[in-house]
Amino acid sequence: EKLSSKQIKSPLNYIGGKHKLLEQILPLFPKQISTFVDLFAGGCNVGLNVKAEKVICNDNLKFLVEMYQEFQKNSLSEILQHIDNQITTFELSLTNEEGYKRLREYYNTHKNPLDLFVLVAFSFNHQIRFNNSHEFNNPFGRERSSFNDTMRANLIKFVRKIQALNVEFTCFDF
């Protein structure tokens, strides 16, 4: 059986994401790991798929870590309801760039970690990018990016996994 059928794929399209490399990476790790540190966690593809008693997913992007912490502490239904509500409120779609820009401005003012996920869902290539003023500044993903069924399914599996695992999300400089 291939590893990939059991693997959790990050709901984020992270530049440098390791999901496609997991089948090559995971067999290289020791069989018994007490604490695994994913130092540059990004989308958490490695940290959430390694077998260890405890996992620490670290990233120096505070807003990303805060989003994961929200995923960990809120129920799946609350998370999905928040996402769906924001999509409706800001009338997000494959073509509504104005709605996207309004949500981006709202996020940059309020910094609700769950809104970051909604923004990423509709941003160009589903990417996360902040400027030096810590404002999310990725452009709109016209005709390409949305919170589609695949992304929803990946998010559900991801949230269930981080809520079931002994995982801690940290924001330290390496």
* Residue 77, helix vs strand vs coil: helix
pLDDT above 90 (res 14): no
End-to-end Cα, the chain, rounded Å: 36
Give the tens place of pLDDT for each residue, 124-156: 998 899 999 999 999 999 999 999 999 999 999
Give the H/E segment covering residue 169.
strand 167-170
Least confident of 17-21, 74-78, 128-132, 147-151: 17-21
Give the H/E segment covering residue 150.
helix 149-164
- In the DSSP assignment, the letter for residue 98 is H
Please report which residue ranges of 15-148 form alpha helices under DSSP H: 22-25, 62-73, 76-89, 97-110, 113-122
pLDDT above 90 (res 174): no
* Residue 160, helix vs strand vs coil: helix
Least confident of 5-19, 50-64, 65-79: 5-19
